[in-house]
Amino acid sequence: MNAVLNKQTKFIDLGLIDYQQAWDYQTDLFEKTVALKIDNRKADVTEQVSTPNYLIFCSHPHVYTLGKSGDQAHLLLDEKGLADKQASFYKINRGGDITYHGPGQIVGYPILDLDNFFTDIHQYLRLLEEAVILTLADYGITSGRIDGLTGVWIDIENPDKARKICALGVKSSRWVTMHGFAFNVLTDLNYFQNIVPCGIDDKAVTSLEFELGKKPDLDKVQNKLKQHLAKLFEFDLIED
């Protein structure tokens, strides 16, 4: 537990950014926070300093990412296929299987020291999901969870029609988190046809645009989501 709890959370909007560049950026913040926690453990209580928290929003050019427990066979494209789709591919250090990121998607990377909030990774995942569920409710869309599957789903009562609108995949060390969620808002869903999304071959993927039948304002969706996250986590949100 931190000697000095800090619920201040800096919001950072990176916009459309190359996946590797964003990965390096969040890794730097993550590693610095972990290092600070290690230093705090070695220091006298009076010399310990509070750890920072960050909430990063961005989107990426077309990219497929495979989690450390994923199966590369779930990528249905070879190198030429990736080039034809103008997409890149990365094996990364989060949990979960394969997913797609692209323009029109809200990708969230919370770099949080959960010692500042609660030390329960399952609660952490459920709150990320809940923020998306509440955002969808703002648009009149009912969504929820499916037992045994992470993420946010629509038509959860009908297994044959259930479809995922938000995927989750996180990493944590010493209760510091990185990676996060991908919420399909204006996403080109055709790109999901080139993978077995999250290793699940019997469920569809959807977007807010598809469910509404019209294009929502991406900035407004992002703001609603950000505010739900702040309320659920009790962030003291700091914006530049």
Both tokens of 18, joined, read 């190359």
DSSP string, 143-187: EEEETTEEEEEESTT-TTT-EEEEEEEEEEETTEEEEEEEEESS-
Q: Which residues of 120-142 are buried (b: 16+ CB within 10 A; e: fewer)?
A: eeeebbbbbbbbbbbbbeeeeee
**Residue linked to tokens 């739900």:** 228
C-alpha 35/C-alpha 183 separation (Å) is 30
Active-site amino acid positions: 198
Q: What is the DSSP annotation of 103-135?
A: TTEEEEEEE-BGGGT-S-HHHHHHHHHHHHHHH
SS3 assignment, position 50? coil
Q: Kindly give the pairing relationship between strand 8-16 and strand 204-205.
A: unpaired
Instruction: Give SS3 for 101.
Output: strand
Residue pair 132/139 in contact by the 8 Å Cβ criterion: no
Cα distance between residue 77 and residue 200, in whole Å: 17
